[in-house]
Structure 1
Amino acid sequence: MKKYLLSIPLGISLIVSSAYTNKVTPPDEGMFPLSEINKLDLKKAGLKINQSDIYNPNGISLIDALVQISGCTGSFVSNDGLIVTNHHCAFSAVQLASTPEANYLENGFVARTREQEIEAKGLTVRITDSYEDVSTKVLNAASTTNDPAERIRIIQNKCAELEREAEANDKSIKAQVSEMFIGKSYVLFKYKTIKDIRLVYIPQRSIGEFGGETDNWVWPRHTGDFSFVRAYVAKDGSSATYSKDNVPYKPKKFLKVNPKGVAENDFAFILGYPGRTFRHRPAQYLQYQEQYLLPYISELYTFENKTMEETAGNNVALQLKQATRIKRNANRLKNYQGKLQGLKAIDLVEQKRAEDEEMQKFINADAKLKQQYGSLLQNIDNLYKEVFTDAQRDLWLSEIFNSTNLLAVANALNTFKKQLEAAPNKTAYYNQNKDRFKKAIDGFYESYVYESDKKIFKHMMADGFKLPQNQKVDALQRLLIMDTGIETSATEATNRILSTSLKDPEFTNKLLTGSSETDLLAFNEPIMNFVKELSEQQAQLDPIKQKREGTLNKLMGDYVTVKELYKKKDFIPDANSTLRLTYGYIKGYTPADATYYAPFTGIKGIIEKGATGNPDFKYPPIIKDLYNKKDFGMFKNPKTEDVPVALLYNMDTTGGNSGSPIMDANGNLIGVNFDRAYSATINDFAWNNSYSRSIGVDIRYVLWVAQKVDKADFILKELGVTKY
């Protein structure tokens, strides 16, 4: 990877101050961007290789083995494009490849030859190629206006312009400008994309998802959350869609495996693509989370999952259709429940409020600061008061199309119709674009089950009709009055929407595969009008949201600037799906009084949990047979006389770090990150060494399962683990 330029002016710096360096233990928080790695003293912390072996802007380093895959992280582990990531990161691709007759999701998948590897639909791999600071270009462009909505539009347009310019100069990359500090600093990242990804080895679901929702976000953990996929490219090395003629990708760097693993208190580090954190936000932002967003989504997704599970029953085909959505919902809602508990447990809103009050005193004590920033915190408070006035309606509108597949289908059809009506040559436009829209709509039908859609839609409608008087949704109110002016009940109105031809995917397919646009343009049912009215209200609200976003963009830039002065240090920017490093130690913790959790679990724990009778703790019988025989191969931990299954560590991770490689002091792979302990779900808002712990699957368990359970010795051979 090359670093073209990263010279960020003082005041919008990503530089880590001396407060972050020369420490043996990790800082208060630490998801360090690439630009900060050379400022850390990792040798003193325990690193045994050269720091430049992790990231070398002028040569090849461990960073070059990292990939972003399906919103997760993965890493190359062989010279033939083999990638290790989490089971849950490949979950949707495995679901799409599965049928009731060949249920790879349940039974696992093992491709013992390259010819047996199958397409991982929906998966692509993104590799960071280079980055460049563009803060000055973006902020200078926005300096010409004081209008908040115009400011955010200019910033967005400038970012898009810089992305287009970068892609025009290099056709092989995809460019993206990432906001590092909101309203303050921007970096242009350039990525290489690989489009042909194939399934290689997926463990059985009872291994890859052992513990289910019972254990999700919980320690001790015994989940074999790993999978192996392979990246393919065209014979000339260029990115290409799936083709039998493609060849395995040759990465610049791949990770070596340490089959002996690590011990408690050993140094370790993680590279990955953490999603989003919000640690540099004011108290009001956390109040919004605690009071509105987190409880609303938790309740809604709980209902959705219960509905889908009841609808599917014992029908394998329906279970497969809804599996990915259920899993994503479950993960998010338990995360949100953990955040809610964490916010209340440490009273974080009040902590932030007290900190903001002290910062206001700091501003008032300096005449120059008071003149420039005296009203900053009051302006932030005023903005959030506006947000709170329509928070319930905005949350409802944000989820309505996500909640119901039929509405998403109708929305896509309405968009196509609107574009068709505006097209000078309607027939030509229809023929040129129908396949694109059909592909998108087919995606909505992949998880569509009418009975689930119906119940979830009725739930959403009931919630919508109960919104406060000042937050009413116009489309819902109009539904209560029929075209004749006769009042109708909420139930009747909802049933009218559900009585749509779109219930049948074949009907929709005919609308998009005909030789003429006439049928599509003529198609008009209550669901289409309802969706159109929802979209119109969202469009009416957009200028208000844009003004708020623009105002917040400027306020938060100032907020971080003042906070840096108040704290007398610079900050690490919040995670934003760009490459980061975090480091720490294999370490247990005490989550409650008189309780200590050790940092390793073993196969013994799988068998103990299985004996409870909880269906989430089902596991392949061969695991118990092997345990009873003490058939652990070279992967036994001599201290426990068992194979380590999962490991615990005090590194700073969040969503997006799923699949991140956990590496030892020599830069060798020792595990794959997949979760956090329940108390650490609050990491997105605050990190603390006393309660923040992350969880990974130990590489020794990965190798043991591959060899002993699934007889996938070819994986060990490709990983270079030959002495077994």
Structure 2
Amino acid sequence: MNKKTLVTSLLTIVLLTIGILQSGYKPWEEGMFPLSEIHKVDLKKAGLKISQNEIYNPKGTSLVDALVNVGGCTGSFISNQGLIITNHHCSFSAVQQASTPEHDYLTNGFVAETKEQEIQAKGLTCRITDSYEDVSDRVLGAVAQVTDPASRLKLINDAMKNIALEAEQKDPGIQAEVSEMFIGKSYVLFRYKTIQDVRLVYVPNRQIGEYGGETDNWVWPRHTGDFAFMRAYVAPDGSPAKYAKNNIPYTPKKFLKVNPKGTNEEDFVFILGYPGRTFRHRPAQFIEYQQQYVLPYTSNLYDFQNTTMENAGKKDKATEIKLATRIKRNANVMKNYRGKLQGLKGIDLISQKKTEDAALAKFINGNVDVKARYGSLMEDIDNLYKLINGDAKRDLWLTQIYNSTSLLGISRNINVFKTAMEAQPENQRAAFLTQNKSRLKQFLSAIYDAYDIDVDKKIFKKMLTDASEFSTDQYVSAVNKVIGKSTNKEQAIENFINNAFAKSKLTDTSYVFNTLISSPKTISAYSDEILSFEKDISTQIAQLKPEKDRRDGILNKLMGDYVNVKEKFLKKDFIPDANSTLRLTYGHVRGYWAADATYMHPYTTIKGILEKGTTGNPEFDYPAQIRKLWEAKDFGPFAKKDLNDVPVGLLYNMDTTGGNSGSPIMNAYGELIGVNFDRAYGATINDYAWNESYSRSIGVDIRYVLWVASKIDKANFLLEEMGVKI
């Protein structure tokens, strides 16, 4: 940065700060605001140039109507023909399923120049929020006189299901779901419309869409073109329908206007999206449980799994493609969890929480009325987590075992189906099989799609070896049975796995689909060691369930009380933790000081792609055309003048988490200027704590999206559909 630019930037910051102080406005505010809370936020003071009613209007059309939940991510409509923009990584599994060694869309990308060329995005649906309603009184009214923790939680869950079912019966065109906004405290009924036919329109090649790979994941500066285009289709009469050639593009109530001019530093921006889960209203013991058990165990396990799968992928291209989605998901979680661990230790959040909880306990004991109601709260929380921690290793192992070993997932589906079938009268079993066979086949196919026998055996061995080291009070009965009285645990496990896999016919998909599940007789007659092992696992899980339900019931009540009393103590209402329901967050395009003397500017450019490409890391390889265009300064109308380059990534101080992937970044006028896809490494702890000084989210600048689409992939027809002139 030259001297003139530096002075200008500093002056801007000073003037901004003075303006903020004079107005009394706090420019950054933690919170993923539910629709019900948006009216409490003064976005005009923050910089919004349109009416807040244009963001969410329960009595009319608004920007909220352009939002969709697609495959656990967020997307937004950007044309009246159902065109959706989201992240490359959100389309990854669908692209993988559409790919073959001959048509490797995962590596080479995909552009459908006509609607007829668009490819079915298998496994993806679009869910649109239609309306919401607070039903807390109805849910909690069902347990007003219930004191048993497990019974209380069951009645709450039953009430939530019944309210949703009632809503669906009143309006068969929607799907309903009651979401717990505050654990044990508040509940909201959401009505959704679901579009079942989603198709891939345009996905850039992997060197653009996944540029930087795991090296850059959760890192700033970032140069990833993490975007993809899909299209929503409905039946000719406009109703939701499964994939069919005669379906037509969906016409949304609202679609976002794309602004190809992008943003400048300190511009007001906001996001609408479906953030997954946050845990900011939890006590110190919860953070300790995460830091000591969940985060290290899961990240280390996924590291081992990925190393195993990456080695297997070297065998051939088909295996590499088959395992790609699982590797990507694991790697994302692994790095996120390690970032969280680093962040939790860096800010010593456990100590902070303990200090807060000590102050809360003092408040409880200092007020007669509060003490009468909540006097044992903090001690009860502590005692519960002692129980939870005591079983943590086994609980986490049981949580991961089926996802770790594909053949166990297959076995579970077959055992569950077999039990349900054999519960029918003998003369009705054939009809039961006919009625449910396609669904069973669908579940099994999804697992077999990412199955490799060598990977399965190695990961299975690790899981059994880990369980064999658990203390006697956390034993896994199925593993104990494998080891028996052997003095050599490792050899016993090795022998069991080799014999079980060699004899099992579950490794043969043709046998499973064409013989095993062909009749009730073949299903009932078949047995092997892996099926038996899975049955032992499921039996132990069933035995542990009553105590788990009891603990979950206690936790539900305690966390509701914890939030209630904390709100009394702090004399404020909290924003509910994220729970995959539609939220708003706002802020500004802004850099940050990552470390002493290290300022992170809020824009990256194509120049940075070329610079990283000289490091020799294959994850920084890029299409040769990018360099040719950059050297020719062929930026079209998408350059940022003060950078004399096309901006690739942008940084902002909004409050986001998982599920916000694909969320539209909008400017003060509600226009699309980018697509959210990540957070800086220090912001991985957003799930537990947010702070303006280090919480930064990352998006792909719309100017780079449009430049790549136009200059690299010649998809100008999409720009025309979006109303972007070039």
Q: What interval of TM-score do these two structures reach, taking the shorter chain for normalisation?
A: over 0.9
Indicate whether 1:503 and 2:507 are aligned: yes
- Secondary structure of the 1:88 match is helix
2:695 is aligned to: 692
Partner of 2:662: 659
How much has 1:519 moved relative to structure 2?
1.1
Partner amino acid, structure 2, of 1:229: M
Contact 1:23 1:45 in 2 (8 A): no
Q: Is the 8 A contact 1:24 1:46 kept in 2?
A: no
Letter in 2 for 1:496: N
- Decide whether the 8 Å contact of 2:28 with 2:587 is kept in 1: no
- 2:365 pairs with 1:370: no
- Residue equivalent to 1:311: 312
d(CA) in 1 for partners of 2:208 and 2:691?
A: 31
| 8 Å Cα contact 1:95/1:324 also seen in 2 | yes
**What amino acid does structure 1 have at the position aligned with 2:83?**
L
Q: SS of the counterpart of 1:591?
A: strand
**Is 1:534 paired with 2:540?**
no
Q: Cα distance, 1:512 vs. partner? A: 4.8
What are the ranges of 5 or more consecutive residues in structure 2 without an aligned counterpart? 1-22
> Which residue of the partner structure matches residue 115 of structure 1?
116
Match in the other structure for 2:550: 547
Q: How does 1:478-489 map to 2 (within 5 A)?
A: 478-481=481-484, 489=492
> Given the superposition, is the C-alpha separation of residues 448 and 488 from structure 1 closer, same or farther in structure 2, using an over 3 Å criterion?
closer
TM-score where L is the length of structure 1: 0.95
TM-score (norm 2): 0.95
Establish whether residue 428 from structure 1 lines up as the match of residue 431 from structure 2.
Answer: yes
Provide the residue aligned with 1:199 in structure 2.
200
Structure-2 separation of matches of 1:28 and 1:585: 11
Q: Distance in 2 between matches of 1:319 and 1:25?
A: 50
Using the TM superposition, give the Cα deviation of residue 656 of structure 1 relative to its aligned residue in structure 2, in angstroms: 0.3
2:245 is the counterpart of 1:241? no
Counterparts of 1:511 and 1:302, CA distance in 2? 36
Contact 2:517/2:523 (CA < 8 Å) preserved in 1? Answer: no
Paired residue for 1:284? Answer: 285
SS at match of 1:270: strand
| Residues 253-292 of structure 1 mapped to structure 2, 5 A cutoff | 253-292=254-293
Change (3 A) 1:697 1:157: same
Q: Tell me the amino acid that sits aligned with residue 317 of structure 2.
A: V
In structure 1, how many angstroms separate the alpha carbons of the residues matched to 2:412 and 2:694?
44
Provide the residue aligned with 2:211 in structure 1.
Answer: 210
Q: Which moved more, 1:490-499 or 1:594-603?
A: 490-499
Greater alpha carbon shift after TM alignment, 24-33 vs 184-193:
24-33
One-letter amino acid of the counterpart of residue 643, structure 1: V
| Alignment partner, residue 682 of structure 1 | 685
Q: Secondary structure at the match of 2:88?
A: coil
Superposition deviation, residue 430 in structure 1: 1.7
Aligned amino acid, residue 502 of structure 1? L
CA distance in 1, matches of 2:25, 2:666: 17
* Residues 626-665 of structure 1 aligned to structure 2 (within 5 Å): 626-665=629-668
**Quick one: distance in 2 between partners of 1:487 and 1:623?**
52
Shift of 1:490: 2.6
- Residue 56 of structure 1 aligns with which residue? 57
Tell me the distance in 1 between the aligned counterparts of 2:191 and 2:274.
Answer: 14
CA contact (8 A) 1:583 1:652 kept: yes
Q: Does 1:720 align with 2:723?
A: yes
Q: Supply the distance in 1 between the matched residues of 2:609 and 2:490 (Cα, whole angstroms).
A: 59
Partner of 2:611: 608
Structure 1: how far apart are the matches of 2:553 and 2:365? 26
Corresponding position of 1:399: 400
Report the Cα offset of residue 28 of structure 1. Answer: 4.3
CA contact 2:131–2:190 (8 Å) conserved in 1: yes
Partner of 1:383: 384
> 2:465 matched to 1:462?
yes
How far apart, in 2, do the equivalents of 1:439 and 1:223 lie? 34
Q: Is there any run of 5+ residues in structure 1 with no aligned partner, and where?
A: 1-21
TM-aligned CA distance change 1:221 to 1:237, over 3 Å: same
How far did residue 493 of structure 1 move?
2.5
Count of equivalent residues = 699
Do residues 126 (structure 1) and 127 (structure 2) align? yes
After the TM superposition, which of the residue ranges 533-542 and 423-432 deviates more from structure 2?
Answer: 423-432
Contact 2:94 2:121 in 1 (8 A): yes
Say if 2:661 and 2:677, in contact at 8 Å, map to a contact too: yes
Structure 2 contact 613–620 (Cα < 8 Å) conserved? yes
Q: Structure 1 runs of 4+ off > 3 angstroms?
A: 22-28
Local SS of the residue matching 1:583: strand
Q: Is the 8 A contact 2:107 2:205 kept in 1?
A: yes
Q: Deviations over 1:274-311 (max 9, x none)?
A: 00000000000000000000000010000000000001
Q: Specify which of 574, 580, 605 is matched with residue 577 of structure 1.
A: 580
Q: Are 1:479 and 1:493, in contact at CA under 8 Å, matched by a contact in 2?
A: yes
- Root-mean-square deviation (Å): 1.4
SS at match of 2:720: helix
Measure, in 2, the Cα distance between the counterparts of 1:482 and 1:162. Answer: 53
Specify the SS of the correspondent of 2:457. helix
Cα offset for 1:721? Answer: 0.5
Question: 1:66 touches 1:76 (CA, 8 Å); kept in 2?
Answer: yes
Pairwise CA distance, 1:507 = 1.5
Q: Determine the structure 2 residue equivalent to 1:344.
A: 345
Alignment partners' CA distance in 2, 1:654 and 1:166 = 29
Q: Distance in 2 between matches of 1:568 and 1:45?
A: 24
